[in-house]
Amino acid sequence: MEGSLICDECEKKLQAYHLDKLLDLSDTLIGMYEDNYSFEDIMEDNEPNDKSYFGDYNGYTNSIINRSKQIAQKNKSQVFDFSKIYSNVTRKIIGQDEPIKVILSTIIRNSMTSNPQFKSNIFLIGGTGNGKSETIKQIAKELQIPYVLEDSSKYTQEGYVGDSVENSIVKLINQAGGDIQRAERGIIIFDEIDKKTDNGDRSGVSTTSVQDSLLKMLEGCNIMTNKGMFNTELVTFILIGACEATYKEREKRLGKDKKIGFGNDKKEFKNKEEANPNFIPEDLINSGFKSELIGRMDSIQEFNAMNLDMAIKIIENSELSIFNSYIDELKKLNVKVVLNNREKIVEEIAKRAIELKTGARAIRQIVVEMFKKIYADVLLLDKKPGEVYICYINVETVRDNSKFELCKRKKQV
């Protein structure tokens, strides 16, 4: 090549080397995100896209790299921004960081694979009102993945068994706006699944058939729907239950082993396995779940029971806090809530909620009850435009909702 410092052959090799590097790089960047972008996809229309283009290596390389990064970045924010989604969810759901981490990473991993072998299903166990359903809802919302939450207990109540489990597929397709491919990567949650065990369901309707049809879907099958054929292989299945009988099974298992030890509160275990306070598949199987079903659950995750500290944080810090919402709503009505004193009031709500034993659901009941009369009185006020009222609340208001004071704020001089 004229004016070139290297011979034609070396020039060609260098060109080939650059192009290969380029292709490698864009392939790696894009391949990572599994979005089937080809080299051509990231070329601009006016750009030559055959291997004969060897002009400005650097400019060309950089523009391709930048565009690859942009595509990668865009996809990343939709699918992979684990820490952002994790922090968004943990700002709402309090005290369940570990289960949130497991569920979120499982769903993200599932969304990245096209190999059904790498897809995992999850079993969630935990007492009522601890955030199991809310967590899934929040995660699915953040990830923008279609999901369907089914109440398993209705399958017997409504008298249809078996086929109705598959109705969830139709709902999932609808959730995905009719896009079957998107729905095939969605989430189906069977809540109250413990009502489907031999121990849980006393309705006399065969519960095994519900577990059987679940099993069929979990294994991966094709289901003909009115929108077309649906394959369940990549759907994330989440089974949820309070599973009291399973807790008892775990206690039995641990209790038996826990007795070996010195003193009353210092326990010693024979080996690690015996000391495992986590749920193990046998706990579920012994409490009435089919072993084939449990065998298809890759992770059994427990939700923590609400304690006082958690309850306080749910009231004070959760973005879903009903207590803070009430205060904000009243503010919108020109009523300033003055709490005397906030810490004590919050603690009182938390204590009362623990007594009710319905998890965070109790917080909602208490707060709604507490503000019921205040709200009604505020709506009855004959307020002139611009007038601001003050509502004084104290610890007693928590247990007696008539103990509050509502008065007009004096004009500041």
In whole angstroms, the minimum distance from the beta carbon of 316 to Mg ion comes to: 23
In whole angstroms, the minimum distance from the beta carbon of 305 to ligand ATP comes to: 10
To which residue do tokens 């879903």 refer? 320
- Residues 252-281, mask of contacts with Mg ion (x by CB under 5 A): ------------------------------
In whole angstroms, the minimum distance from the beta carbon of 313 to ligand ATP comes to: 8
Chain residues in the site for ligand ATP (CB under 6 A): 93-96, 126, 128-134, 191, 242, 314, 318, 320, 359-361
Of the pair 133, 394, the CB lying nearest Mg ion is at 133
In whole angstroms, the minimum distance from the beta carbon of 107 to ligand ATP comes to: 16
Residue 124 touches which member of ligand ATP, Mg ion, none, C-beta under 5-8 Å by kind: none
Query: In whole angstroms, how far apart are CA 191 and each of 31, 126, 132, 237, 394?
Result: 36, 11, 9, 11, 38
Residue 401 contacts residue 369 (beta carbons within 8 Å):
yes
Of the pair 130, 211, the CB lying nearest ligand ATP is at 130
In whole angstroms, the minimum distance from the beta carbon of 130 to ligand ATP comes to: 4
CA torsion sign for 173, 175, 178, 182 is: negative
Of the pair 131, 146, the CB lying nearest ligand ATP is at 131
- Alpha-carbon distance of 218 to 193, in angstroms, equals 14
Residue 360 touches which member of Mg ion, ligand ATP, none, C-beta under 5-8 Å by kind: ligand ATP
- Torsion angle, alpha carbons of 61, 63, 66, 68, to 10: -70
Is residue 186 exposed (0-12), middle (13-18) or buried (19+ Cβ within 10 Å)?
buried
- Per DSSP (E only), the strands in 65-196 are 122-125, 147-151, 187-191
In whole angstroms, the minimum distance from the beta carbon of 240 to Mg ion comes to: 6
- Residues 115-154, mask of contacts with Mg ion (x by CB under 5 A): ------------------x---------------------
- Alpha-carbon distance of 246 to 284, in angstroms, equals 5
Count of residues interacting with Mg ion (CB under 5 A): 1
Query: Which of 259, 294, 289 lies closest to 274 in space, CA to CA?
Result: 259
